[in-house]
Structure 1
């Protein structure tokens, strides 16, 4: 597996652990539908939350939320619609982005963008 895939999977695990520490419940990881993949599906306060995780080693090229373009958003919404249908979910949902940042010292930091798009 390519190094960027390894760092992406690690970032997803770190983000999941961080969200769990904030009271979120992990429902599913890496849900696939067609060409779309939802990194994390969580529950929190009665909401089903679809989370896109983006890893960045620094912010020189921009922040994580800037790398979720309109095409990616459409794919995520399509996959979420399928998941909602499969699970027969009738409550509210939300789309979040979690940026995982590694600084020069190797310290991991998170930025959580709740209700980032729809």
Structure 2
């Protein structure tokens, strides 16, 4: 599944760059987990979780970003910001880019501000 994940992360990055965001990091790993993409949109740092689900049997791809996963992403984002203090004063946002469906019939959704750090 990692190979499929890589394909969708590259696809999401390309789509977000076309929308005007700049990539600051990809697959940034911390002890709390991985940040798929760290992007910048003007004066906002955007932490992007990319999800793919072939089938909606257990909910769609966006629904797989559970509160537990959100908490891990927030901790990973805090570590990224600590390691990159030049960005620490900027506004931050958590987006989810989800892909659902079988190959050939995939729908994509970009959820800006999908969740917030408490």
The gaps in structure 1 that reach 5 residues or longer are none
The gaps in structure 2 that reach 5 residues or longer are none
Q: CA deviation at 1:45?
A: 2.2
Structure 1 match to 2:95 = 96
- Alignment RMSD (CA, Å): 1.5
What is the alpha-carbon distance in structure 2 between the residues aligned to residue 23 and residue 108 of structure 1? 23
TM-score, normalized by length of structure 2?
A: 0.88
Structure 2 match to 1:117 = 115
What is the alpha-carbon distance in structure 1 between the residues aligned to residue 113 and residue 89 of structure 2? 18
What is the alpha-carbon distance in structure 1 between the residues aligned to residue 101 and residue 8 of structure 2? 10
SS of the residue aligned with 1:99?
strand
Q: Is the 8 A contact 2:45 2:91 kept in 1?
A: yes
SS of the residue aligned with 1:114?
strand
Number of equivalenced pairs: 114
Q: CA deviation at 1:35?
A: 3.5
Note the alpha carbon deviations across 1:25-55, whole angstroms, 9 max, x for none: 1111001110410000001121000000001
